[in-house]
Amino acid sequence: MTRWLAIDHGHKRIGVASGDTETRLAVPLTVLDGRLPETAAEQIVKLVREHAAVGVVVGWPMNMDDSEGPQGVRARRFAADLQQRLSVDVRLWDERLSSFQADEALAGQWTRQKRRARQDAVAAAAFLQHFLDADGPATAPTPAGAAQEKQPPDGGSDG
């Protein structure tokens, strides 16, 4: 069994989900405080060990026209930082509409505050499910590969 963790990276909250390539089932795990990125990264390292994960997939918020906006850059950089900290495979996966899917899944359940507290982990599970179903471990870009892919045509940096 090959276990993967999914990270839905945000400024305030970071959703975490778990799934494996054998059962192809993704489930929400927890939500971390995103306001302290260093602490969150340390908690992710701990979760990778606890769950014996072979890889981490970070949600990559792309624009609807397939371009990478500021949030996408931040997520890619966070994934690159995790790659430096971890001895497991780190990949990026398009997370478009995963928050919408999470909202739909949680609709009518709990109070708005409780739904909001769970939304990021449910969103992470949504894009992890797609990642597993689409053979993401073999096809998703690494942070370094994605950075090369998103370079402006003149060879400049992305900021």
CATH code assigned at 43: 3.30.420.140
In-domain check, residue 92: yes
HSE-up of 84 (CA within 13 Å, CB side)? 8
Report how many domains make up the chain.
1
The one-digit pLDDT tens for each residue of the chain (159 residues) are 699 999 999 888 899 999 999 999 999 999 999 998 889 999 999 999 999 999 999 998 887 787 888 888 899 999 999 999 999 999 999 886 555 454 555 455 655 555 455 677 888 998 999 899 999 889 888 998 887 766 544 444 444
Q: What contacts 142, CB < 8 A, 6 or more positions away?
A: 83, 89, 90, 91, 92
Whether 93 contacts 127, CB under 8 Å: yes
**One-letter amino acid for residue 132 of the chain:** L
The pair of structure tokens assigned to 52 is 């014996």
Euclidean distance between CA atoms 10 and 84, whole angstroms:
19
The reported pLDDT for the residue numbered 81 is 94
- Domain span at residue 22 reads 3-144
In-domain check, residue 15: yes
The reported pLDDT for the residue numbered 158 is 45
In-domain check, residue 36: yes
Q: With 0-12 CB in 10 A as exposed, 13-18 as middle and 19+ as buried, what is 30?
A: middle
In-domain check, residue 54: yes
In-domain check, residue 155: no
The reported pLDDT for the residue numbered 112 is 58
The reported pLDDT for the residue numbered 104 is 55
Q: With 0-12 CB in 10 A as exposed, 13-18 as middle and 19+ as buried, what is 6?
A: buried
In-domain check, residue 153: no
